[in-house]
Amino acid sequence: MKLLDFWTVLSINGIVLTKQQMESLERYANELIYWNEKVNMISRKDSNNIYDRHILHSLCLMNFMDFKPKSWVLDIGTGGGLPGIPIKIANEEIRIVLIDSIAKKIKMTQMFASHTNLRDIEVKTIRAEEMAKEKMYQNKFDFIISRAVAKIELLIEWSEPMLKQNGTFAFLKGGDLTEEINEAKYRFPDLQIVEKEIKLNSYDYFQNEDKKVIICKFVK
């Protein structure tokens, strides 16, 4: 997908970005493609699909989440900055922390993040379960997001202490998630889980590939 096609699909689906935001996404995409040849952050055979299958996929979260200004967002297992960096570029006023346990990926992501020239973006090499033990991050985040990292049950187990009361988990996943959802409900009886299909106008790849957003909240 070319940049103009990418912008068109975004606009048709209600995600309207400024020229500056599009330029930032273009710079990020180019850097991700270049460095992915040296540090494998996404499948190398997917380099020609950065805009549609990776950045667009990340931005789909905006059709399900209301990232209000000053919201705190945590991206678990960010890899090369997905979905966190696109979300931050499109929502400049949020405050976001991107984490991954693999140092070489985080080194690249730190560079990508610095080139956005955006404030309130932090990148850390740390596991979510270790970060959750740090008092400064407990009960901090309005949203905890992740893209194809681990089972729902594990993601919540690792990060629950960091979610604010009434906060929301939003995970990009795919396929038949019935068993995975049931396991998470069994493990966390107070957890409300909503499974949403990703359906975009003029671009049916995510629907054909059974891609979904899993939205979880604790109801007590």
User: How large a percentage of the chain has pLDDT more than 90?
Assistant: 83
pTM score above 0.85: yes
Q: Where are the domains of the chain?
A: 3-218
pLDDT level of residue 149 (50, 70, 90 thresholds): confident
Q: Domain 3-218, what fold?
A: Rossmann fold (3.40.50)
Angle between helix 103-115 and helix 19-36 axes, rounded to 10 deg: 150
Give yes or no for a cis peptide into 189 (omega within 30° of 0): no
DSSP helix/strand/coil, 137: helix
Closest to 69 measured CA to CA, from 135, 119, 26: 119
Burial of 89 (0-12, 13-18, 19+ CB in 10 A): buried
Mean pLDDT computed over every residue of the chain: 93
Q: Tell me the C-alpha distance between 123 and 111, whole Å.
A: 10
Identify the DSSP state of 39.
Answer: S
Tallying the residues shown for the chain, one arrives at 220
User: CB within 8 A of 47, min separation 6: which ones?
Assistant: 33, 36, 37
**Across residues 11-28, what is the average pLDDT?**
95
Check pLDDT > 80 for residue 58: yes
What pLDDT, on the 0 to 100 scale, is given for residue 37?
79
Closest to 146 measured CA to CA, from 215, 209, 89, 193: 215
Indicate the helix (H) or strand (E) that contains 100: strand 95-100
Angle between helix 152-159 and helix 178-187 axes, rounded to 10 deg: 30
What pLDDT, on the 0 to 100 scale, is given for residue 43?
66
pLDDT level of residue 44 (50, 70, 90 thresholds): low
pLDDT tens sequence across 108-132: 999 999 988 889 999 999 999 999 9
